[in-house]
Amino acid sequence: MRLFAAALVFCVVYPAARECPPFHKLNGEPILPVLSRAEVTRLIGAAAKKHKLPPEFVTSIVAAESAFQSDAVSPKGALGLMQVMPETASEMGLDAAVPRQNVEAGTKYLAALIRYYRKNSRDWLKHAIAAYNAGPGQVDHYRGVPPFRETRSYVSRVLGFYLAYGGSMRSFAEAQH
* pLDDT single digits (tens) 34-46: 899 999 999 999 9
Report the candidate in 113, 87, 84, 110 with the shortest Cα–Cα distance to residue 99.
84
Q: Which residues of the chain have pLDDT under 70?
A: 1-31
| 20 within domain boundaries | yes
Q: Model-level pTM?
A: 0.82
| 132 within domain boundaries | no
- Quick: pLDDT tens for 73-108: 999 999 999 999 999 999 999 999 999 999 999 999
Q: Which of 29, 39, 56, 65 is catalytic?
A: 65
What pLDDT is attached to residue 29?
52
Q: Is 65 noted as a catalytic residue in this protein?
A: yes
| 88 within domain boundaries | yes
| 66 within domain boundaries | yes
Query: Which range of residues forms the domain containing residue 47?
Result: 2-111+152-175
- Cα separation of 52 and 32, whole Å? 27
| 130 within domain boundaries | no
Torsion of CA 35, 76, 149, 120, to 10 degrees: 80
> Could you report how far apart the first and last alpha carbons of the chain are, in Å?
28
What pLDDT is attached to residue 6?
40
| 94 within domain boundaries | yes
What pLDDT is attached to residue 10?
40
| 134 within domain boundaries | no
Q: How many domains does the chain have?
A: 1
What pLDDT is attached to residue 30?
52
| 81 within domain boundaries | yes
What pLDDT is attached to residue 31?
61
